[in-house]
Structure 1
Amino acid sequence: MNWFYLAATAWLLINVAGGMVRVLRGPTAADRMLSAQLFGTTGVAVLLLLSEAMAIGAVRDVALVLAMLAAVATIAFTQRAWGGGSASEGEES
Structure 2
Amino acid sequence: MSDLPLLLSVFLLANLFITLVRVVRGPTSADRLLAALLFGTTGVAILLLLAYSNGQSALIDVALIFALLAAITGAAFAQRAWRHKAKETDDGTA
Quote the residue 2:23 is aligned against: 23
User: Which residues of structure 1 form unaligned runs of 5+?
Assistant: 85-93
Quote the residue 1:4 is aligned against: 4
TM-score (norm 1): 0.86
Q: Distance in 2 between matches of 1:81 and 1:16?
A: 26
Q: Which amino acid aligns with 1:11?
A: F
Quote the residue 2:45 is aligned against: 45
TM-score (norm 2): 0.85
Q: Show structure 1 runs of 4+ deviating over 2 A.
A: none
Deviations for 1:25-56, whole angstroms, at most 9, x for unmatched residues?
10000000001101110011000000011001
RMSD: 1.1
Q: Distance in 2 between matches of 1:73 and 1:64?
A: 14
Report how many aligned residue pairs link the two structures: 84
TM-fit CA distance, 1:24 = 1.0
Higher helix residue share: 2
Quote the residue 2:75 is aligned against: 75
TM-fit CA distance, 1:83 = 1.3
Give the percent of matched residue pairs that are identical in Structure 1 and Structure 2.
52
